[in-house]
Amino acid sequence: MPTIHIESQKKDIAPRVLMPGDPNRAFYIAKNYLENARLVNKVRGELAFTGKYKGVDVTIFSSGMGIGSMGIYSYELFNDYNVESIIRIGTAGSYDPELKVYDILLADSVYSKTYFDEEAGHENIEIINTSFELNSTIMDTALLKGMKVKQGRVHTTEAFYTENKDYSKFIELGCKAVEMETYALMYNAKKFMKKATALLTISDNLITHEEIDSESREKKLNEMIVLALESIIKK
């Protein structure tokens, strides 16, 4: 049965899901990489497509922006649609001058100082590890394809525009980059004992001030997309 946020039937959603934040990126991936892709959700403009990648069913489902939106969709996908594995594919801002634009970062853990955990489950968890099994598959796949992927902790923030430009606290906590969704995904994966991780392309460096434009964020992340697809079909 559909949920209040997803109109799909259970059969419409594959057990393996890639989650970009942007609906346009979901459309781009489905159009360019999936065979026989069909639209399975358009509620609230969050697009989802299911098709085959190398003969394996995969769903591309946009999460929207922020902890709240990712929290809703990943919860319902895990709980109501029996999804087993989710890889978030998105962009992040680097805290590390050596982590440059277009570099790929695989999250091995995520830090956030948020009330999401307390309100969602009466818990207080600031750091959550990502799926070791998924990460191992991604790193092995990257090695086979000759792709360079770095691993590290990501910081999930609830505020995109911030006046505090002192990132030293997050760097001291081991965070390599900042984004807005991974914590909620990992919290729900932990809750439902499912596999999840985040594969992120660096879109800007907060130390060196390099950045890529919005069109590139939508359409020029192909190396990350291919790596995620090649990895998710193995799980």
Active site residues: 204
The DSSP secondary-structure symbol of 206 reads T
- Pair 152, 107: CB distance under 8 Å: yes
Contacts for 11-15: CB closer than 8 Å, 24+ residues apart: 12/40, 12/41, 12/50, 12/59, 13/40, 13/48, 13/50, 13/59, 13/61, 13/77, 13/81, 13/83, 14/50, 14/57, 14/58, 14/59, 14/83, 15/57, 15/82, 15/83, 15/84, 15/85
Could you tell me the two tokens for 41? Answer: 């959700």
Tokens 């360019």 map to which residue? 32
Report how far residue 1's alpha carbon sits from residue 129's, in angstroms, rounded to the nearest whole number: 31
Could you tell me the two tokens for 43? Answer: 């509620």
Q: Is 120 exposed, middle or buried (0-12, 13-18, 19+ CB in 10 A)?
A: middle
For residue 38, the SS3 value is strand
Tokens 């790929």 map to which residue? 104
Side chain identity at residue 232, one-letter code: I
